[in-house]
């Protein structure tokens, strides 16, 4: 298997806050990797750094061998790496179809061709019934579906999903898990940031754990749930009660 995404020594400071410190991990082609950690661990910042929304202070991000640090988000997308946002960002005034067509235009400027590609992506995520609905009228799960369809329409090889399950009810989480598995079956390499452990265990073959901007563990799901470092990060430790300002658990 080839390496799809190689992240080495990624660091970013915001003033005095070290948001991401020397984070490295590798994602194999067609693998699904989960990035987890308590709130403020640096997961979303990592996504921003990988996709060009923030520029890292140091480190490198190779997508299929191409250095993407220094590229603008649209160039990163053109290289085949698409993302969704933690807070869904639909183009509210546009219909679902128009939203997804906008993504499809990256690879084909013709309206008819973009429409065909968009319809396919919309069907894939199960949103066909909402095709002509203005995006602002969608429910939460349908907005997440739309984000995925829009990203999918850009024909990515790597897909970064930022908390696509937040705010969903258990039944919807099952649907979302099924959708992520379907994306993986399509051959996509997926990096997923998620808090819903049940979902992570269902989709990820490999987990990277961040805390305070640093990678504290990495491995198969089974190893991760038993890792004392990870348990301490999430629950705090009995030996040393968390100091003030450290009480995130």
Q: Which is nearer to another protein, 70 or 92 (CB)?
A: 92
d(CA 173, CA 166): 9
d(CA 47, CA 81): 11
Q: Give least dist CB 134 to another protein, A.
A: 5
Q: Which is nearer to another protein, 87 or 185 (CB)?
A: 87
Q: Which is nearer to another protein, 25 or 85 (CB)?
A: 85
Residue 6 host element (H or E): strand 3-14
Q: Which is nearer to another protein, 136 or 198 (CB)?
A: 136
Q: Give least dist CB 224 to another protein, A.
A: 29
Q: Which is nearer to another protein, 74 or 182 (CB)?
A: 74
Q: Give least dist CB 141 to another protein, A.
A: 18
Q: Give least dist CB 93 to another protein, A.
A: 5
Q: What's the Cα-to-Cα distance from 80 to each of 65, 68, 157, 225, rounded to whole Å?
A: 12, 11, 5, 32
Q: Give least dist CB 74 to another protein, A.
A: 5
Return residues touching another protein (CB under 8 A): 51, 53, 72-74, 77-78, 82-83, 85, 89-95, 98-99, 101-103, 105-106, 109, 111, 114, 132-134, 150-151, 153-154
Contact 41, 195 (CB under 8 A): no
Contact 82, 159 (CB under 8 A): yes
d(CA 75, CA 52): 8
d(CA 214, CA 42): 8
């Amino acid at each position: 298997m080839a390496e799809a995404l190689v992240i080495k020594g990624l660091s970013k400071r915001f003033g005095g806050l070290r948001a991401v410190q020397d984070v490295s991990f590798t994602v194999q082609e067609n693998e699904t990797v989960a990035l987890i950690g308590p709130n403020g661990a640096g997961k979303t910042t990592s996504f921003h750094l990988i996709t060009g929304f923030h520029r890292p202070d140091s480190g490198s991000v190779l997508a299929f061998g191409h250095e993407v640090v220094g590229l603008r988000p649209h160039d990163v997308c053109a290289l085949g790496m698409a993302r969704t946002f933690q807070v869904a960002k639909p183009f509210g005034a546009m219909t679902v179809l128009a939203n997804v067509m906008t993504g499809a235009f990256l690879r084909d400027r013709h309206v008819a061709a973009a429409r065909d590609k968009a319809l396919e992506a919309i069907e894939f995520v199960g949103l066909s019934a909402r095709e002509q609905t203005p995006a602002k009228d969608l429910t939460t799960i349908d907005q997440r579906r739309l984000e995925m369809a829009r990203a999918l329409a850009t024909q990515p090889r790597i897909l970064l999903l930022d908390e696509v399950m937040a705010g969903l009810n258990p039944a919807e989480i099952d649907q979302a898990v099924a959708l992520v598995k379907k994306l993986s079956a399509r051959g996509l390499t997926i990096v997923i940031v998620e808090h819903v452990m049940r979902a992570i265990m269902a989709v990820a073959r490999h987990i990277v754990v961040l805390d305070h901007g640093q990678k504290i563990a990495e491995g198969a799901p089974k190893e991760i749930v038993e890792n004392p470092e990870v348990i301490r990060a999430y629950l705090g430790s009995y030996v040393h009660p968390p100091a003030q300002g450290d009480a995130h658990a």
